[in-house]
Amino acid sequence: SEAADVLGLMHYMEVLRLFTAVELVPATSDENVTVTDTEFSSVPVRLYLPRRAPGGLRRAVLYFHGGGCYDFMARRISNELNAVVVSVNYRLAPPHHFPVQFEDVYSVTKFFLQSKVLSQYGVDPARVCVAGDSAGGNLAAAVAQQLLEDPEVQTQLRAQVLIYPALQALDLELPSYRDNAHKPVLPRSLMVRFWSEYLSSEPALREAMASNRHVPAQASELWHFVNWSVWLPEHVTRAHRPGTPAWAGEELARRHPGLLDPRASPLLATEARLRRLPPALVLTCEHDVLRDDGLMYVGRLRAAGVPVTHHHARDAFHGAITFLAGPLELALGHRLLNTCLGWLQENL
C-alpha cells in the first residue's frame, strides 16, 4: 500500500480496500436465510431474513462492518437469533470523509426504525440493536448516542454491541497504542492513517496525528473524557506514565471540525448523554491498539449507570472476529462471535 501510494499508482486506502474486496460475495440465499441487496434511505444495504417461522415478532440487528463484507457473520446472526439483519454498505474513505459514513448509517437506522418498516419485516420495535466492529463499532456507538437527541425517532434501541471499537481521535498515545504499536493486524501507523483519512486526506493532519500533536489547547475541556489515567484499570496503566498533552494550534481543528465531534469520537459524549444509552456489550482484545478505547468506554458507561457487559479476550488481536471461514478461519473468531451471539440471545 505504501509503495503504490508513494509511486502514485493508487491511493494507500484504495490498495487496502483491494484486500477486503476478495471477501465480497453476491447476495445468495441459502436454506436458512434469504439474502437480498436493496436500499434504505438511498443507502445500499444487504438484508438477511430468516426462513424459519418467526413464532411472533422478530429481533433485528443493524450491523455496521469494519470496512469489508461480513456475509458469513451476518448469516449466522440472522439464522441463530432468528433475526432480521441489515448490513449497511456505507461509503468509505477515500473519497468520502466524515460525516458521510455516519450520515449513511444513521439515515438507514432512522429509516428502519419507522413503525411501517418494522412492521413490513415483522420486527418487534422493542428488540432492535445496533452492532459493529472497529470502524463499525465507532458508528454503532455514535448512532446509539445520536438517536437519543432526535425528536423524530420514536423507537429506541434495546441494545448495542461494540466489537473492538475505535472511539476517540484525541489521544493516539494511549497505553494500548504503545503496547501494540507494531503488532498485526492493526499497527499504530495504520490506525493513525485510518483516523486521518476518515477526517481528511490532508497530509498535514496525518503528520500531526502521527506525532499526537493535533488537538488544540482550546479543546482542553474535552481531555478528561479520554484521560486514561482516570478511566483505565490499574493493571493497564501501571507500566505507563501519563504525559502532558502536546497541544496544537487552532488551524487544524478549524479545518477539520470532525476532530472534536462526538459523532466521530463517541468517547467525547457528556455523562448526561451517556446515561440514557441502552445496555451494551463491549468486546476488547489485548493485542490491539484500540483496546483502551473500549476499556475507557466501559468505564465511562458504567460511571453513567449504563448496564455494560465487558468481554476482554486476552489472546485476541484486532479483527479476530472476522476469521470465520476459508483459509484464514480461526477457532478464536468463532469463539468471539459465539460470545456476541450468546449475549444477544439473552439481552435482545
**Nine cell digits for residue 18:** 483491494
Annotated catalytic, 134? yes
Residue 125 near residue 115 (C-beta atoms within 8 A):
yes
Q: What is the DSSP string of 162-181?
A: EES----SS-S--HHHHHTT
Q: How far is CA 3 from CA 15, 67, 276, in A?
A: 10, 21, 46
CA atoms within 13 A on the CB side of 168: 26
Q: List the one residue out of 34, 46, 94 whose CA is nearest residue 71.
A: 46
Q: Are 336 and 283 in contact (CB under 8 A)?
A: yes
Gap between the Cα atoms of 164 and 134, Å rounded: 5
Residues 272/157, Cβ–Cβ less than 8 Å: no
Cα–chain center distance at 57: 27
The answer to whether 182 is a known catalytic residue is no
Active site residue 288: yes
Which is catalytic among the residues 134, 196, 200, 265? 134
Q: Are 196 and 248 in contact (CB under 8 A)?
A: no
Calculate Rg over the CA atoms of the chain. 19
Residues in the chain: 348
- Distance from chain centroid for Cα 306: 19
Which of 133, 288, 292, 293 is catalytic? The answer is 288
Catalytic one of 97, 256, 287, 318: 318
Catalytic annotation, residues: 134, 288, 318
